[in-house]
Structure 1
Amino acid sequence: MLKAGGRFWNPTCQRYRVDCVQVHVLLESELELTFVLKAGDVDLMIIARGTPGFSGADLANLVNVAAVSAAMHGAKEVTMVDLEYAKDKIILGSERKSAVISEESRKLTAFHEAGHALVAIHTEGALPVHKATIVPRGMALGMVSQLPEVDQTSFSRKQMLARLDVALGGWVAEELIFGENEVTSGPRSDLENATELARSMVTKYGMSKEVGLVTHSYNDDGRSLSTETRHLIEKEVKYLLEKAYNNAKTILTTHSKEHHALANALLEHETLTGAQINALLAQVNSQQQQQEQHQEVIVAQNGPQSNPVPPSPSPAASAAAAAAAAAAAATAAAKAKGVAPVGS
Structure 2
Amino acid sequence: MSPALSLSLPNVPVSKLRDISKDTHIPKKKLSLENPLEPKLNRRKLIYSTTTFGITQQVLSSGCKPANAEPESPVDATSSRMSYSRFLEYLEGGYVKKVDLFEKGNVAIAEILNPALEKIQRVKIQLPGLPPKLLRKMEEKNVDFSVQPMEMNWSEALLDLLGNLALPLILLGSFLLRSGGPNSPGGPNLPFGLGRSKAKFQMEPNTGVTFDDVAGVDEAKQDFQEIVEFLKTPEKFSSIGAKIPKGVLLTGPPGTGKTLLAKAIAGEAGVPFFSLSGSEFIEMFVGVGASRVRDLFNKAKANAPCLVFIDEIDAVGRQRGTGIGGGNDEREQTLNQLLTEMDGFSGNTGVIVIAATNRPEILDSALLRAGRFDRQVNVGLPDVRGREEILKVHSKNKKLDTRNVSLSVIAMRTPGFSGADLANLMNEAAILAGRRGRDVITSKEIDDSIDRIVAGMEGTAMTDGRSKMLVAYHEIGHAVCATLTAGHDPVQKVSLIPRGQARGLTWFIPQDDPTLVSKQQLFARIVGGLGGRAAEEVVFGEPEITTGAAGDLLQVTQVARQMVTMFGMSEIGPWALTDPAVQSGDVVLRMLARNSMSEKLAEDIDSAVRRIIGKAYEIAKEHVRNNREAIDKLVEVLLEKETVSGDEFRAVLSEFADISANRVKTLQVVEAANT
Query: Could you tell me the TM-score, scaled by structure 1's length?
Result: 0.74
Mapped partners of 1:54, 1:212: distance in 2? 33
- Match of 1:109? 471
TM superposition shift of 1:197: 1.1
Separation of aligned partners in 1, 2:486 and 2:653: 17
State yes or no: 1:17 paired with 2:387: yes
**1:100/1:262 CA distance change after superposition, 3 Å:** closer
Residue 575 (structure 2) aligns with: 214
SS of alignment partner, residue 186 of structure 1: helix
Mean Cα deviation higher: 155-164 or 275-284: 275-284
Q: Distance in 1 between matches of 2:419 and 2:555?
A: 29
Find the counterpart in structure 1 of residue 229 from structure 2: none
C-alpha RMSD of matched pairs (Å): 2.4
| Structure 2 residue ranges without an equivalent (≥5) | 1-211, 216-256, 265-378, 583-589, 659-675
- 1:324 paired residue number: none
* Alignment partners' CA distance in 1, 2:381 and 2:410: 13
Correspondence 1:81 to 2:453:
no
Question: Within the alignment, does 1:188 sit opposite 2:550 as a pair?
Answer: yes
- The yes-or-no answer on 1:154 pairing with 2:516 is yes
Give the match for residue 642 of structure 2.
270
Task: Name the CA distance, whole Å, in 2 between partners of 1:224 and 1:194.
Answer: 26
Letter in 1 for 2:608: E
1:135 — aligned with what? 497
Q: Which has the higher strand share?
A: 2
1:226 is matched with 598
Structure-2 separation of matches of 1:157 and 1:55:
26
* Bigger mean CA offset, 19-28 vs 196-205: 19-28
The 5-angstrom pairing of residues 30-109 of structure 1 reads 36-97=399-460, 103-109=465-471
Distance 1:275 1:100 in 2: 24
Q: Supply the AA of the counterpart residue of 2:577.
A: H
Match of 1:257 among 616, 629, 638: 629
Equivalent residue number for residue 31 of structure 1:
none
* Contact persistence 2:462–2:468 (CA under 8 A): no
Give yes or no for the alignment of 1:3 onto 2:214.
Answer: yes
Q: Distance between the aligned counterparts of 1:262 and 1:284, measured in 2?
A: 11
Residue pair 2:415, 2:510 contacting (<8 A) in 1 also: no
Tell me, yes or no, if the aligned pair for 1:261 and 1:284 is still in contact at 8 Å.
no
Q: Please tell me the residue identity of whatever aligns with 1:264.
A: E
- How far the C-alpha of 1:139 sits from its partner, in A, is 0.8
| Aligned residues of 2:496 and 2:643 also touching (Cα < 8 A) | yes
Q: What are the Cα deviations for residues 188-242 of structure 1, in whole angstroms up to 9, with x where unaligned?
A: 1111111111111111111112x12222128589975322222221111111111
Distance 1:195 1:57 in 2: 30
Give the C-alpha shift of residue 254 in structure 1.
Answer: 1.0
Q: Residue type of the partner of 2:622?
A: T
Task: Tell me the secondary structure at the aligned position of residue 132 of structure 1.
Answer: strand
Among candidates 598, 603, 610, match of residue 238 of structure 1:
610
How many residues of Structure 1 are paired with residues of Structure 2 in the alignment?
Answer: 277
2:539 pairs with 1:177: yes
Q: SS state of the match for residue 272, structure 1?
A: strand
Greater relative contact order (CA < 8 Å, ≥ 6 in sequence):
1
TM-score (normalizing by structure 2): 0.39
Task: State the SS of the aligned residue for 1:78.
Answer: coil
Partner of 1:145: 507
Residues 79-115 of structure 1: CA deviation (Å, up to 9, x unaligned)? 1111000111112110112x76662211111110100
For residues 527 and 657 of structure 2, what CA distance do their matches in structure 1 show? 23
Q: Distance in 2 between matches of 1:192 and 1:47?
A: 28
1:338 aligns with: none
Q: Distance in 1 between matches of 2:539 and 2:635?
A: 11
Aligned to 1:320: none
Work out whether residues 10 and 16 of structure 1, in 8 Å CA contact, stay in contact via their aligned partners in 2. no
- Change in 2 beyond 3 A, CA 1:58/1:196: closer
Q: Which amino acid aligns with 1:263?
A: V
Shift of 1:181: 0.4
Structure with bigger helix share is 1
Secondary structure, counterpart of 1:242 in structure 2: helix
- Equivalent AA in structure 2 for residue 201 of structure 1: M
Equivalent residues of 1:62, 1:83 under 8 A apart: yes
Cα distance change of structure 1 residues 138 and 21 upon mapping to structure 2, 3 Å threshold: same
Identify if the C-alpha distance between structure 1 residues 102 and 272 changes in structure 2 by more than 3 Å, giving closer, same or farther: closer
In the alignment, which residue of structure 1 is the partner of 2:397?
A: 27
Identical counterparts, % of pairs = 37
| Separation in 2, partners of 1:73, 1:281 | 34
Cα distance 1:20–1:212, how it changes in 2: closer, same or farther (>3 A)? closer
- Tell me, in whole angstroms, the C-alpha distance in 2 between the residues paired with 1:100 and 1:52: 29
CA–CA separation in structure 2 for the residues paired with 1:284 and 1:74: 42
Q: Which has the larger radius of gyration?
A: 2
- Which amino acid is 1:12 matched to? P
Contact 2:471-2:503 at 8 Å conserved across structures: yes
| Offset of residue 62 of structure 1 | 1.4
SS at match of 1:139: coil
For 2:454 and 2:427, the matched residues in 1 are separated by: 15
SS in 2 for 1:107: helix
1:122 aligns to 2:122 (yes or no): no
Is the Cα–Cα contact under 8 Å of residues 11 and 52 in structure 1 kept in the other structure?
A: no
